[in-house]
């Protein structure tokens, strides 16, 4: 845990001072405990007043320890806040740098938990979980060394017993962590099945297949029940192991004290003092045992955070000179980790300031093509160039801006949603972007204009308004390759036309590539690319492709027939 904490925080002065204060505090506590031996010896001697100096020393040690504890708590809180900030800053970069194969459903859930809970919990876990754990470990071994100067057997038992107790605690927490992990996975599966069942209710009832959906839920619940039993079975040996080792250590310590007293190497006062010391050790170990859940959660967050911060981020690099670049793909291949083909030998040419519309059936490779152009999916083969210059993921991410199919907005204002992308935007820039994105009617109707709250995930806006804000956010980025993925798929005709007009207004300033299955975007297309099975099967001007009577003509005829269909 210490190594991971160092990795996540980056070490530094705060980290070193915090550790120094924790060690110093623990050593002072041990010093106060060891002082009990001469204090009690003099207190029960013929001259009890001689214990006064030892009492004074103990009071001083406790007072200094109290001050050091306060300083350590402050430094620990600073360190916890540093962990939280590091997680929040590094996770987005790691997500962009990690390959898609690494972002499994389990990893995605872990990252979601890290950002929503783990980062916040880390701000206090350093003080509430790591500090007691570090204190207990240091305390047991420092006390063992100190007791060697009082009674060698007792010191050795403390050192060996402390090692065994900490090892048992580590083993038990690992077993419990494994069980907790299995339980979370089972619970997540039940949650997913219940959610899918709820969403699919209308379709299942229409098809009279509600029973089949219920059986899937029952199967997940049954599997969850068996995993809960496994959780209990894994927890029992962990708790039994720690309890057994702790009782063995206490018994050994008691035997050593008794033999020392019986053999005359320990006086009655020293033996009684040893009992006080033993109770203090038990208190330390018990405190850590009670924190096992918090320590497990913190350790889990640190483990994932360490993976995140060790990831080398892909820094966007804009290689354009301010003008829309020529985009060229030659023989680009993309193969997914499961072996399926995303793109196969794709050639694409997009002239500066042109609009290229990509169409095709679901699964034909359209979105994969856009992700490759955006630098989010690296190709396995082939070449990508911007204005003739080879472009890797860093250059593509710096030169491209993306408008997604489902726009997700921050809960802040419209202004804040755009400033998040480009903090340097002026009011004049915002007004220009608003006009280009066809947001002017919304801004004029809203009393607060750009300061209108978007709501959680953009809930205060209609679907069309969210998409136009999404277009505006894309235009806010200083990039000249505009990528749009199904931006009008869920919009009504009026909202769809507004998005089309927004693209028409900015087309000369961008090299635009649009994925769509709606014919409206074809009105502004200079070139159409038809995809199937990850390949480009047709490419050319819309009129030429329609006249050729191929796949494009067939798709266009289907769209027109669907648009003319009505209930009679």
Does 126 share its domain with 184?
A: no
Structure tokens at 408: 């997700």
Does 94 share its domain with 156?
A: no
Residue 434 Rama label (left phi>0; alpha psi -120 to 50; beta): alpha
- Please count the structural domains in the chain: 3
pLDDT band at 361 (very low <50, low <70, confident <90, very high): confident
pLDDT band at 279 (very low <50, low <70, confident <90, very high): confident
Q: Are 257 and 275 in contact (CB under 8 A)?
A: yes
Q: pLDDT tens-digit profile of 531-546? A: 888 898 988 888 888 8
pTM for this prediction: 0.64
Please give the Cα distance from 423 to 376 (Å, whole number): 23
Instruction: Decide which of 522 and 21 is more confident.
Output: 21
Could you give phi then psi for residue 336, rounded to 5 degrees? -80, 160
Domain holding 82, by residue range, is: 1-140+296-313
Give the pLDDT score at 567: 41
How far is CA 39 from each of CA 33, 58, 240, 445, 503, rounded to the nearest angstrom?
10, 9, 38, 81, 85
- Collapsing DSSP to helix, strand or coil, 37 comes out as helix
Least confident of 166-170, 221-225, 455-459, 491-495: 221-225
Give the pLDDT score at 191: 56
Give the pLDDT score at 70: 92
In DSSP terms, which residues pair with 527 in a beta bridge?
Answer: 356
Q: pLDDT tens-digit profile of 383-405? A: 898 888 888 888 888 888 888 77
DSSP state of 99: -
pLDDT band at 414 (very low <50, low <70, confident <90, very high): confident
Structure tokens at 393: 């993921």
Does 136 share its domain with 197?
A: no
- Collapsing DSSP to helix, strand or coil, 363 comes out as coil
In DSSP terms, which residues pair with 329 in a beta bridge?
Answer: 348, 384
Instruction: Decide which of 256 and 109 is more confident.
Output: 256
22 falls within a domain:
yes
pLDDT band at 568 (very low <50, low <70, confident <90, very high): very low
- CA neighbours within 13 Å on the CB side: how many for 213? 19
Last residue of a domain, which of 226, 247, 265?
Answer: 265
Residues 6+ apart with CB under 8 A from 448: 413
Please give the Cα distance from 405 to 409 (Å, whole number): 13
Structure tokens at 378: 């690296």
Position of tokens 């740098």? 97
pLDDT band at 28 (very low <50, low <70, confident <90, very high): very high
Q: Is the pLDDT of residue 459 over 80?
A: no
39 falls within a domain:
yes
Please give the Cα distance from 195 to 201 (Å, whole number): 10
Mean predicted confidence (pLDDT) in 282-307: 75
Instruction: Decide which of 8 and 242 is more confident.
Output: 8
321 falls within a domain:
no
DSSP state of 360: E
Does 553 share its domain with 414?
A: yes
145 falls within a domain:
no
Does 192 share its domain with 61?
A: no
Q: Are 355 and 511 in contact (CB under 8 A)?
A: no
Last residue of a domain, which of 282, 313, 344?
Answer: 313
Give the pLDDT score at 309: 84
Does 447 share its domain with 505?
A: yes
DSSP result, 439-505: -HHHHHHSTTGGG-B--GGGTTS-HHHHHHHHHHHHHHSS-SEEEEESTTTT--HHHHHHHHHHHHH
CATH number at residue 350: 3.40.50.300
Q: Is the pLDDT of residue 48 over 60?
A: yes
Q: Are 543 and 549 in contact (CB under 8 A)?
A: no
Does 156 share its domain with 120?
A: no
Structure tokens at 37: 């031996």
172 falls within a domain:
yes
Structure tokens at 16: 């070193």
Give the chain's length: 568
272 falls within a domain:
no
Does 88 share its domain with 212?
A: no
Last residue of a domain, which of 252, 287, 313?
Answer: 313
Does 134 share its domain with 163?
A: no
Does 548 share its domain with 415?
A: yes
Does 394 share its domain with 543?
A: yes
Does 493 share its domain with 360?
A: yes
- Collapsing DSSP to helix, strand or coil, 568 comes out as coil
DSSP state of 129: I
Determine what percent of the chain falls in helix, strand and coil, rounding each to the nearest 5: 70, 10, 20
Q: Regarding beta strands 327-335 and 381-386, do their DSSP bridges make them parallel or antiparallel, or are they unpaired?
A: antiparallel
């Amino acid at each position: 845990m210490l190594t991971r904490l160092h990795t996540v925080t980056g070490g530094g002065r705060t980290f070193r001072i915090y550790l120094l204060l924790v060690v110093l505090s623990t050593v002072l506590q041990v010093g106060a405990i060891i002082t009990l031996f001469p204090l009690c010896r003099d207190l029960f001697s013929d001259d009890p007043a001689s214990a006064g100096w030892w009492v004074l020393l103990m009071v001083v040690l406790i007072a200094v320890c109290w001050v050091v504890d306060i300083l350590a708590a402050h430094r620990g809180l600073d360190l916890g806040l540093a962990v939280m900030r590091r997680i929040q800053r590094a996770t987005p970069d790691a997500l962009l740098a990690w390959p898609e194969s690494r972002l499994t459903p389990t990893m995605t859930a872990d990252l979601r938990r890290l950002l929503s809970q783990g980062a916040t919990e880390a701000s206090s876990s350093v003080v509430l979980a790591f500090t007691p754990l570090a204190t207990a470990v240091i305390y047991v071994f420092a006390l063992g060394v100190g007791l060697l100067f009082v009674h060698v057997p007792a010191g050795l038992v403390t050192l060996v017993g402390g090692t065994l107790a900490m090892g048992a605690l580590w083993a038990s927490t690992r077993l419990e962590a494994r069980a907790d992990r299995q339980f979370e996975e089972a619970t997540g599966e039940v949650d997913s099945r219940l959610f899918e069942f709820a969403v699919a209710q209308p379709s299942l009832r229409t098809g009279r297949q509600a029973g089949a959906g219920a059986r899937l839920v029952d199967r997940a619940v049954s599997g969850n029940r068996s995993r809960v039993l496994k959780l209990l079975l894994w927890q029992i040996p962990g708790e039994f192991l720690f309890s057994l080792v702790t009782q063995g250590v206490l018994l050994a310590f008691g035997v050593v004290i008794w033999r020392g007293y019986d053999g005359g190497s320990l006086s009655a006062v020293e033996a009684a003092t040893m009992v006080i010391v033993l109770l203090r050790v038990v208190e330390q170990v018990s405190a850590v045992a009670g924190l096992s859940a918090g320590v497990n959660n913190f350790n889990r967050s640190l483990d994932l955070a360490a993976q995140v911060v060790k990831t080398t981020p892909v820094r966007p690099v804009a290689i354009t000179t301010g003008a829309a670049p020529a985009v060229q793909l030659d023989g680009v291949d993309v193969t997914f980790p499961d072996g399926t083909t995303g793109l196969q030998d794709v050639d694409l040419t997009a002239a500066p300031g042109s609009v290229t519309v990509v169409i095709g059936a679901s699964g034909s490779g359209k979105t994969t093509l856009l992700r490759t152009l955006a630098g989010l999916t690296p190709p396995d083969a082939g070449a990508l160039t911007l204005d003739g210059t080879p472009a890797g993921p860093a250059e593509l991410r710096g030169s491209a801006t993306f408008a997604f199919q489902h726009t997700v907005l921050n809960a802040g204002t419209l202004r804040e949603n755009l400033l998040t992308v480009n903090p340097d935007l002026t009011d004049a820039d915002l007004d220009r972007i608003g006009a280009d994105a066809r947001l002017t009617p919304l801004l004029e109707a809203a009393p607060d204009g750009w300061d209108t709250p978007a709501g959680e995930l953009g809930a205060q806006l209609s679907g069309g308004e969210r998409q136009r804000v999404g277009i505006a956010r894309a235009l806010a980025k200083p990039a000249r390759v505009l990528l749009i993925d199904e931006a009008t798929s869920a919009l009504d005709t009026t909202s769809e036309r507004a998005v089309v007009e927004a693209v028409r207004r900015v087309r000369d300033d961008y090299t635009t590539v649009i994925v769509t299955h709606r014919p409206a975007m074809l009105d502004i297309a200079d070139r159409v690319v038809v995809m199937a099975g990850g390949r480009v099967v047709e490419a050319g001007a819309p009129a030429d492709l329609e006249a050729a009577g191929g796949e494009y003509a067939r798709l266009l005829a289907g769209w027109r027939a669907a648009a003319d269909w009505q209930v009679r």
